[in-house]
Chain A
Amino acid sequence: MAHDGYFFRSRRGLPAELVEAQVRVEAIAKGYGLDFCEIVFEMCDYDEINMIAAYGGFPTRYPHWRFGMDFLQMRKGYEYGLQKIYEMVINTVPSYAYLLDNNTFMDQKLVMAHVTGHVDFFTNSSWFAHTNRKMLDQMANHAARVRRHIDARGVSTVEQFIDACLSIENLIDPYLHHIRRTRPRSESDIERASLEPGVVKLPARSYMDKYINPPEYIAAQRKKKAEEVQQMQRFPESPLRDVMLFIIQNGRMARWQQDVMGIIRDEAIYFAPQAQTKIMNEGWASYWHTTMMTRDLLEDSEVIDYADHHSGTVTMRPGSINPYKIGIELYRHIERRWDKGQFGKDWLDCDDVVVKRDWDKGTGLGRQKIFEVRRSHNDITFIDEFLTEDFVREQGLFTYEYDKRAGHYKVDSREFSAVKQKLLFMLSNRGNPRIFVTDGNHANRGELELTHQHEGTDIQVQWAEQTLRNVANLWGRPVHLVTQVDDNRVVLHHDGTEFKAEGLKQKGRRRRA
């Protein structure tokens, strides 16, 4: 797509005042050191922006009912005045961002400032380094390919398959580009390993042999070696995070199915870093829109509206975390600490409350530090490294739990370690259970064994049952999920038509009826 192409209507450009505003906002942003690629702003009416939001920011996606569902929800939300989307930007080069056409001029400036923050983040965060910046074209290609399959196979067939793929859309490896997980190993490697004697005996005279090379030790070594070879022959060799890829490569499916599943995986991988950096990204953009608006861009007459809209964005609904709020406050917290020199060994070793309160070494490294942070951290490391006890107290963070007797959620604890732990747990794997492929040839019958890495929270069995059904259909053979329910080892089986749960207490089954 040409860089100057507009998606909608009569290729509307921006009105003159907004072109001017964009130039101004970008100049100011560059002055603060933000570094971003070309940004193309488009004006949309609310139906268009709802559509784009439903499509995850892109003007074209493959046909699927869930986009319609999301669209309906956003449209109704807008029509009944419950919610309003007023900015959106996608990670491409050039970056496309959308402005709602009935926003006020102040709103448009705010959105532009916010968007420059996002684009700077896309450009500089290492977590986005491997994303496809031509995703706009890629998405359009995907749509065309899926449409072709639909023409050939019929809507329902393809749609049903897409539904099944979406069921495991979250079973990808979000660190795919950052960690090399497996060394490719060839057949000959394995053969060589199994032929090698493996156990080296120290030279010794025969009468000394059993002291220098104790038989138990030799036996243990042999066994270890044999296990290693066995492990090498396993399939996959070690537990695999990217369940989707494994199924694409090894499942019994037709060419077109491989293609469709590949598309869904590609898109899931493209979106993964955005989920991994939600707090950082929104916090960063919010930090910059407040900074630029309050210092440079606001007219006197706009202050009230600005304050209203800004506080709307960073407001905390009871019982949920607003990534905008946590993000912006944490950046400010970091900036303050590094400005005052509240870091390093001296700071950590000091336990005098008064000294700490008045600690100011005038280091002034705040700005520099937050730029550094935005380059290398993701949400988890961001929280892990910078969420301090002071921050938790200042922000009034708490953990909550469901009170069964009272039938509602209640505040559980305000303790630092509890809050931090809970927050990290919520963020790890985006609150999804971690599932690995552990055996692709289970019981030597070509069945698939998945293992849930249990971290204290059980998976929901009904959902697992439905998901496994889809996995079984994708894999083409029965599948098994090893997990834990109520501290018992449970294996769930599904062969595509029938579901069996092994080791599950009866009560769980009855409650379903």
Chain B
Amino acid sequence: MILNIENDLNRFKEIVKGKVRKDLRRYMSSGEMIGKQGNKRVSIPLPQIGIPRFRYGKNDTGGVGQGEGDDGDAVGQPGDGSGKAGDQPGQHSIEAEVSLEELAEIMGEELALPRIEPRGSKQISSERDRYTGISKLGPEALRHNKRTFREALKRQIASGTYAPARPVIVPIKDDKRYRSWKTKNEPQSAAVIIYMMDVSGSMGNEQKEIVRLEAFWIDTWLRHNYKNVETRFIIHDAAAREVPRDVFFRTKESGGTLISSAYKLAVKILEEDYPAQDWNIYPFHFSDGDNWSANDTRSCMKLLNEHIIPVSNQFSYGQVDSEYGSGQFYKDLNEQFAKDERVVTSRIPRRDAIMDSIKEFLGKGN
């Protein structure tokens, strides 16, 4: 059955995608629903458009809660108070089990690797089986009981063997219907992702956590959607080294910052293992933008300009705000590559900006 609300839903989706009513996009926020993954809470991004109203601002003075605790104890984030006027839905909050796979899917509806091209001999494909059809042949495990029953009922009524008083339906072989699937093959090319992370002293724990979260989500999403994408991980302070995935997501180091060291290593990896004619190349670099010297920044620009960007499909730079960092590198990059659409820069001031930043890197239609 088609619900009346489908039209409203489609309209909303079109607005979110920016197809119509662009004036509304400024009110958009990525509202979140909290889900749980193991012991960690994860949030399920849900786009929301807030209609502007007169409302209270910053010196909004908290609220009233109920429960244990002394003065000064922390309380959880207050809910929105569910002040929706009108109906009175009795809502029951339940904790959710959402797998990482599912989350990647939820997240990925709007993402894609930009400018991916068919390259190289190692053709990979993003393929997906979809159960869209019905066939007369198939394994019993895929038997569509409802359809089978219906066919049998049809046949019995047509042949006059159906007795309403004793409605026994016995399917025969011809009645059986099976779910059938189609495999969609989208031939794509080999791709390599190089993650580079600044782990220098100026990156505080929160900054590193933000970078890890963002890299983690990008990685989870990529692995879910593209098969056989290769990934390489580099961490750097004043010197760079390549590390396995789990070290990248766990490491704690500190020291000075020479960004060029990471770029040099990236260039070396690319030259040795990933010739540009065979690979789509996506370097990601995360830092607080506080490089050691202008000199080093110059050699970074040189490396990028001559060795990295010419072979890359997209170079992505994500910058976290740190207390110590000047954030200069972001400005330098933007100055140098203002016109080059292969360079995407994004700032990630807080945790809740992670999703937006991922969209800036991988958003469709960028």
Contact = CB atoms under 8 A, between A and B. Distances in A.
Nearest to B24: A163
Given A86-B90, A88-B89, A411-B70, A426 B64 contact: yes
A435 B68 CA distance: 37
Interface stretch (A23-31, A60-68, A233-241, A498-506): A60-68
B4 A51 contact: yes
Nearest to A452: B54
A463 B96 contact: no
Instruction: Determine chain B's interface SS by DSSP, over half rule.
Output: loop
B83 A275 contact: yes
Report, as a range, how many residues of chain B touch the other chain: 35 or more
A66 B87 contact: no
Interface stretch (B10-18, B218-226, B297-305): B10-18
B24 to A, nearest CB: 7
B11 A68 contact: yes
A55 interface: yes
Interface stretch (A165-173, A369-377, A441-449): A165-173
B255 interface: no
A69 B48 contact: yes
Interface string B1-31: 1011101111111010000110110010001
A488 interface: no
Given A156-B21, A412-B62, A433-B56, A275 B7 contact: no
Contacts of A84: 91-92, 94
Contacts, number: 286
A426 B54 CA distance: 15
B141 interface: no
B75 A281 contact: no
B52 A167 contact: yes
Interface in B41-86: 44, 46-49, 51-79, 81, 83, 85-86
A197 B342 CA distance: 82
Interface residues of A, number: 113
A167 B50 CA distance: 10
A435 B54 contact: yes
A81 B37 CA distance: 13
B85 A272 contact: yes
A69 B74 contact: no
Contacts of B1: 8-9
Contact of B66 (A48, A398, A409, A481): A398
Contact of A64 (B8, B13, B31, B63): B8
Interface stretch (A35-43, A209-217, A252-260, A454-462): A454-462
A409 B94 contact: no
B89 A85 contact: yes
A60 B4 contact: yes
Contact of B46 (A76, A414, A469): A76
Contact of B97 (A47, A81, A309, A435): A81
A73 B54 CA distance: 24
A271 B76 CA distance: 30
Interface stretch (A177-185, A316-324, A342-350): A316-324
Nearest to B75: A319
A195 interface: no
Contact of B90 (A114, A425, A433): A114
A76 B24 contact: no
B121 interface: no
Contact of A457 (B51, B56, B98): B56
Contact of B92 (A86, A278, A456): A86
B60 to A, nearest CB: 6
Interface in A54-95: 54-57, 59-60, 63-69, 71-73, 76-77, 80-90
8 contacts: A87-B89, A318-B65, A397-B65, A398-B69, A399-B64, A426-B81, A430-B85, A432-B56
- Return the 3 tightest CB-CB contacts between A and B, nearest first: A460-B57, A68-B8, A466-B52
